[in-house]
Homo-oligomer: A and B are copies of this chain.
Amino acid sequence: MRLAELSERSGVSTATIKYYLREGLLPPGHQINATTAEYDEEHLRRLRLVRAMIQVGRVPVAKVREVLGHVDDDSLGRSIRLGAAMWALPQVPEPDEDDEYVQTAQQEVSALLDRLGWHNAKQLAPVSPAYRSLVVAVAALRRLGYDFGYELLTPYAELMYRTAVLDLDNLETYSSEEERIEFAILGAIINEPALQALHRLAQEEETTRRYGFE
């Protein structure tokens, strides 16, 4: 397809597509002659992913380029490509290692992973943004005087594990490796807000079931 059709099918303006091409977020089309290039379904798919990251996820252009670099590096294994792409995304605050609440939270999260038998996640902990996020959240709750130890977290973790199994099952319905990795990135950007919304809807339902509408 030509640029005009790529624009029409993606809903992205030709000016924006040209900007993405210049920035290297979209691979060049197949040059037919000096002024015309052809684009294919892979361009369309990549364009949608870039659009989702920038417009829905508000990911900066440089970060999009970094994430795509991992997606396209097929010298890496599947877990590494999935992980590298996902890990490039969230802006995770660094926990203050000298803070006593952070230290306690690290011990608690570590005990939680042991108890759950999440040995792989424990092994990845030193480099994992998800681990850091959990430590920061648990430390913040402790600082506010709330006990958020592993007794309380364990049933949540078990439900989240079942959620992750669903995620991976859905991922595996895509036949190509690129599509799977792209879908994982979209998942981090769009599914998580959807999951949070479902959680809040479920809270509304359960609250009104227990206490009525008033």
Contacts and interface: CB of A to CB of B under 8 A. Distances in A.
A52 B140 contact: yes
A170 B151 CA distance: 12
Interface in A181-197: 183, 186, 188, 190-197
Nearest to A194: B137
Contacts of A209: 120
A86 B2 CA distance: 48
A199 B160 contact: yes
A199 B155 contact: no
A11 B144 CA distance: 9
A205 B131 CA distance: 12
B48 A195 contact: no
Nearest to A203: B164
Given A83-B204, A144-B52, A194 B161 contact: no
Interface residues of A, number: 81
A200 B77 contact: no
B213 A79 contact: yes
Max chain B CB contacts within 10 Å: which of A52, A56, A170, A206? A206
A120 B168 CA distance: 31
A80 B211 CA distance: 10
Interface string A121-137: 10110001111011011
A140 B77 CA distance: 30
A4 interface: no
A157 B211 contact: no
Given A133-B196, A144-B51, A203 B77 contact: no
B83 A207 contact: yes
Per CB-CB distance, the 7 closest pairs between chain A and chain B, nearest first, are: A77-B214, A130-B200, A164-B202, A133-B197, A137-B194, A134-B197, A120-B208
6 contacts: A82-B211, A130-B197, A134-B194, A144-B186, A160-B198, A160-B202
